[in-house]
Amino acid sequence: MSDEHGIRAGLTNYGDRDFAAYLRSSFARSMGLSKEMLAKPIVGIAMTPSGFNNCHRTMPELVEAVSRGVLAAGALPRPFPTVSLGEVFLNPTSMVYRNLMSMDTEEMVRAQPMDAVVLIGGCDKTVPAQLMGAASADVPAVQLVTGPMMTGRHRGERMGACTDCRRFWGKYRAGEVDQEEIALIEGRLATTAGTCAVMGTASTMACIAETLGMALPGSAAIPAVHADRLVAAEYSGKTAVDLIANPRLPSDVITEHSVENAFRVLMAVSGSTNAIVHLTAVAGRLGIRIPNARLNQISDETPVLVDLKPVGDGYMEDFFAAGGVGAILREIRHLVHLDTIDVTGQRLGDRLEPKMEWVDRRVIRSFDEPISDEGGLIALTGNIAPDGAIFKRAAATPALFETEGRAVVFDGLEDLAKRVDDPDLDIEPNDIMVLRNAGPVAAGMPEAGYLPIPKKLARQGVKDMIRISDARMSGTAFGTIVLHISPEAAVGGPLATVRSGDRIRLSVAEKRIDLQVPAEEIARRLAEHTPPAEHKRGYRALYDRTVMQAPKGCDFDFLTQSGTSKD
């Protein structure tokens, strides 16, 4: 083992390299490692177990299986912890901490002596954070996801987190489900280890990791509790060892072509709107930018092929059994770049050569018989969103696609919580609900874009309304919802100028969202805008000073490839 590899890589600075190596070996032996083991190449295993992360409950057995693969292939496995982000356990929102986890991952991969790394994540922000960190560290890396949950049952109905969480909560708010039943359902929504059971953000990011080539082919959709998940872990360990002998860096795997392929798969699976922000951030770490016009072109060319919640009927366990990402890629083979490589070194074109043994067409449609002819997500523009906004047309109500309506404005999350269910709220079903001050700078961009239908309208049977905001939305949610309006209100975006009673026009056909107020009046109102106070200390101060807007993935400006916001 040379000086630059294995246990002698990246020696601690004492001003005496031989002493540093001697001391490290001595301390490593205190972990019970023999000289023979310490002479082997090292595979780090970035593990993220946490008592605050239900989605990572299987982490110990995954680490064991990866270690088995590493040992069998002749290297030394070294698990190490990083930040873990459990979506529903973080205040104000996990999104604030994605970049923190990415920095932790990047720095620990770079600082510790490892020749390759397996990154194990699953919950919404963890896989993006690990991919961002791996891209920046640019050490040979394999992404392994924890896998989705299996479904539960309630009175004969199959259910899974978390589209059904929202559906039943909506029924409860509308008075269709009583207190006793909602309490029963609470224990039946998330019944196994793993990530949310639908095509939410975690599942979408798993599909993206596989399409990028950073996760093993076929590994994205394997349920968390399936034996194949452990086999994928074992192979991930073996693959990491192979990457040491045959180096393929994240920057070789994540290319403009593989990023475009990932956007295609995102459209075909009708994935989460959040994945646009995350994939943009991952690509941005390597200086790759896909403009909104190209995103819309990809969306218009790529049909929705997967019938999964939140836009369809099935769950991730069905997607796995139906053929998974491999089946999707074969259907859109003529649209994807076939020259990309994955961590195994295989070209995508070669991967797709053998036919699938069987595809369940109830879940994964053929290209010629899609769920819908166009992709699920599009970018909008307009005077209210000069830098863009995102709209999930596949999860929206087509009858609302061409609408002009009266704005009902909520000035922030507290205002929303205080007034949305006020019986005196002046709101009609065809109004447009507006939430602002929920963007990256103002509030960490929480998943608050799925504004609840005001109780008084929900009780009249209103199921959907146009809702627009600078916030994000859970990948498991649905509705006619415009998200990620940029620039956000807090940094002086025109969203800050909307007043209740103004008219707003949404046109999905034209891909526009516009405030029907003269430009001079918008400019006059903007001149009165005052930005919110910044945090004074700690990580939140760093966050406030450096976070970029959604079109740049909400990454920190100093974490892009050039270390500036210019990338």
Cβ distance to ligand FES smaller for residue 206 or 522: 206
520: amino acid identity, one letter: E
**Distance (Å) of CA 177 to CA 168, 172, 181, 463, 498:** 7, 5, 6, 15, 36
Cβ distance to ligand FES smaller for residue 87 or 260: 87
Cβ distance to ligand FES smaller for residue 63 or 123: 123
Q: For residue 36, give the 3-state DSSP assignment.
A: helix
Shortest separation between residue 220's beta carbon and ligand FES, angstroms? 13
DSSP for 314-336, written as a single string: B-HHHHHHHTHHHHHHHHTTTTS
Cβ distance to ligand FES smaller for residue 195 or 497: 195
Cβ distance to ligand FES smaller for residue 85 or 322: 85
CA angle 512, 517, 519 (to 5 degrees): 90
Quick check: 37 and 30 in contact, CB under 8 A?
Answer: no
Shortest separation between residue 53's beta carbon and ligand FES, angstroms? 7
Cβ distance to ligand FES smaller for residue 197 or 420: 197
Shortest separation between residue 440's beta carbon and ligand FES, angstroms? 20
Cβ distance to ligand FES smaller for residue 94 or 469: 94
Beta bridge partners of 128: none
Shortest separation between residue 86's beta carbon and ligand FES, angstroms? 6
Shortest separation between residue 297's beta carbon and ligand FES, angstroms? 30
Shortest separation between residue 557's beta carbon and ligand FES, angstroms? 28
Cβ distance to ligand FES smaller for residue 273 or 549: 273
Shortest separation between residue 50's beta carbon and ligand FES, angstroms? 11
For residue 264, give the nearest of 198, 338, 323, 319 by alpha carbon. 338
Shortest separation between residue 192's beta carbon and ligand FES, angstroms? 12
Cβ distance to ligand FES smaller for residue 48 or 105: 48
Shortest separation between residue 196's beta carbon and ligand FES, angstroms? 3
Compute the distance between CA of residue 522 and CA of residue 165 in angstroms, rounded to an integer: 39
Shortest separation between residue 124's beta carbon and ligand FES, angstroms? 5
Cβ distance to ligand FES smaller for residue 202 or 550: 202
**Distance (Å) of CA 115 to CA 4, 66, 245, 528:** 9, 15, 10, 55
DSSP for 377-425, written as a single string: EEEEEETTEEEEEEEEGGGS-GGGSEEEEEEEEE-SHHHHHHHTT-TT-
CA-based Rg of the chain, rounded to a whole angstrom?
24
Cβ distance to ligand FES smaller for residue 159 or 420: 159
Quick check: 543 and 443 in contact, CB under 8 A?
Answer: no
Question: Exposed, middle or buried, 36 (CB in 10 Å: 0-12/13-18/19+)?
Answer: exposed
Binding site for ligand FES (CB under 6 A): 55, 87-88, 123-124, 162, 195-196, 200, 202
Q: For residue 81, give the 3-state DSSP assignment.
A: strand
Tokens of 17: 């390299």
Spatial neighbors of 179 by CB under 8 A, at least 6 apart, are: none
DSSP for 483-520, written as a single string: EEEES-GGGT-GGGG--TT-EEEEETTTTEEEE-S-HH
Handedness of CA 373, 375, 381, 382 (dihedral sign): positive
Compute the distance between CA of residue 201 and CA of residue 273 in angstroms, rounded to an integer: 8
Cβ distance to ligand FES smaller for residue 187 or 501: 187
Cβ distance to ligand FES smaller for residue 275 or 468: 275
Shortest separation between residue 292's beta carbon and ligand FES, angstroms? 27
Tokens of 330: 């074969």
Shortest separation between residue 315's beta carbon and ligand FES, angstroms? 13
Element (H, E) at 79: strand 76-81
Beta bridge partners of 482: 391, 468
Shortest separation between residue 195's beta carbon and ligand FES, angstroms? 4
Cβ distance to ligand FES smaller for residue 87 or 164: 87
Q: What are the percentages of helix, strand and coil residues in the chain, rounded to 5? A: 40, 15, 45
Shortest separation between residue 268's beta carbon and ligand FES, angstroms? 21
Quick check: 84 and 50 in contact, CB under 8 A?
Answer: yes
Compute the distance between CA of residue 414 and CA of residue 16 in angstroms, rounded to an integer: 57
For residue 95, give the nearest of 531, 415, 543, 535 by alpha carbon. 543
Length of the chain: 567
